[in-house]
Amino acid sequence: MRHPDTIPETNPPATATPIEKIETSRRSLLRGLGLASVGAAALAAGCSKVGTEASAAPAPATPAPDTSGPAILGANESPFGPSKKAVEAMIAKAALTARYADGEGEELKKQIATIEGVSPDQIFLSNGSGPILAAFGEMVAAKGKGQLVTSIATYEGVPRTVAGYGAEVIMTPLTADLSVDLDAMAAKISKKTTATYICNPNNPTGNMVDPVKLKAFAIEASKTAPCFIDEAYLHLCDDYDGNVMTSLVREGHNVIVCRTFSKIYGMAGQRLGYGIASAELAGKLGQVTRGGGVNHAGIVAAMASLADTDFVPTMRPKFKAGRERLFAMAKALNRPIAANPQASFVFFDVGMPNKVFAEKMMAEGVRVVGRSWKGYDNWTRICVGEDWELDRCEAALKKVLTA
């Protein structure tokens, strides 16, 4: 199944074929990693000899950015790529992909458990966090008899699955400042409720809920049914320590915290996510999400990323600078905007259906998300890109929104 944000809603400019677009994006990332000289053949070959050559090669001079394809600002991927150490680990271990990665998976669980202060049996892995949201949604849909309480304009993974199984989804409105309204959600919880879902920072609005209120909400809500907190973007926010909710799992509340390596760790295409929950729930959900096993390259890349302790502190200011630039662009055009974005994107009113806006932006060589969120048809979400992508976006926004 395709990621909802990568479904092309609009045609790229005639100058770039789909293959060229992928090539541009791949070249940009390799350039960022200082691995441009390794090339596609070396990455594809993936043998340890190549790995040795890649890591021994002198750092190439950074060539000018390749701007021939569209700016890709629609799917909240990282324009900065993964840790170099993750790439080196994947190349060095590529030949091991002949084997299932159960042993390495257990090692990764131990590594995450140590960081999170839980036991390894409280961690479960998945090929990206999307399958975790889907497995949870299927579980709480309870064969069509369940009920999910969540917010309007939030990430669709869980609500879409619950609705797909014919169960009830209650979506409470956002507050006046476009934040998830925890009081409104609490008021909807009843004996029928089989789960609550909160995304923090929220996708697509980008803002966060007050951590004291979230803790109180989750403790209360989890007395009725599991409370799922999606922290896909938490590493990008200004105050990770003040907002992380894993203490709720450690304290024994019926809470699931979900993470992904797709965002700050720059591994969206590699697919690795994990959940933190009680050992019982982690065991149950892990049975579903690991299916035939979790991908070997993703596991070794995740392990190397976590061991590269400089990586997150290096990436966080890059995303912050990008989202502040996007915020300033929307503000300068007097657009209503969700305040205080803390993820990798901003959410603002473009005064026309988002699909139309996306088509106009694509005509200017900028891909933005072409779908909209219930109740926010005229709002778009634009994510951080490389400098040249943001330059092009700024010019396109001026043209499209002031014409």
Ligand X SMILES: Cc1ncc(COP(=O)(O)O)c(C=O)c1O
Q: Which residues of the shown chain bind ligand X in the complex (CB under 6 A)?
A: 76, 128-130, 133, 155, 157, 199, 203, 230, 232, 260, 262, 268, 273
Helix axes 84-93, 296-307, angle to 10 degrees: 140
Rounded to whole angstroms, how far apart are CA atoms 349 and 370?
14
Q: Work out whether strand 147-151 and strand 168-172 pair parallel, antiparallel, or are unpaired.
A: parallel
Nearer to ligand X by Cβ, of 273 and 286: the residue is 273
Task: Between 84 and 381, name the residue whose CB sits nearer to ligand X.
Answer: 381
The residue among 273 and 322 lying less far from ligand X, judged by its C-beta, is: 273
**Least Cβ distance, residue 123 to ligand X (angstroms):** 15
Q: How far is the CB of 202 from ligand X (least distance, A)?
A: 8
Neighbours of 35 (CB within 10 A): 22
Taking the complex as a whole, the smallest distance from the CB of residue 64 to ligand X amounts, in Å, to 30
- Give the DSSP per-residue string, 149-215: EEESSS-SHHHHHHHHTT-EEEEEPP-TTS---HHHHHHH--TT--EEEEESS-TTT-----HHHHH
Q: How far is the CB of 155 from ligand X (least distance, A)?
A: 4
Q: Which residues contact 317 (CB under 8 A, 6 or more apart)?
A: none
Residue 158 CB, nearest distance to ligand X (Å)?
A: 9
Q: Which is nearer to ligand X, 260 or 380 (CB)?
A: 260
User: Which of 72, 92 has the CB closer to ligand X?
Assistant: 72
Q: How far is the CB of 120 from ligand X (least distance, A)?
A: 21
Contact 337, 347 (CB under 8 A): yes
Helix, strand, coil shares, percent, the chain, to 5 = 50, 10, 40
CA separation for the pair 139, 148 (Å, rounded)? 11
Residue 38 or 134 having the CB closest to ligand X: 134
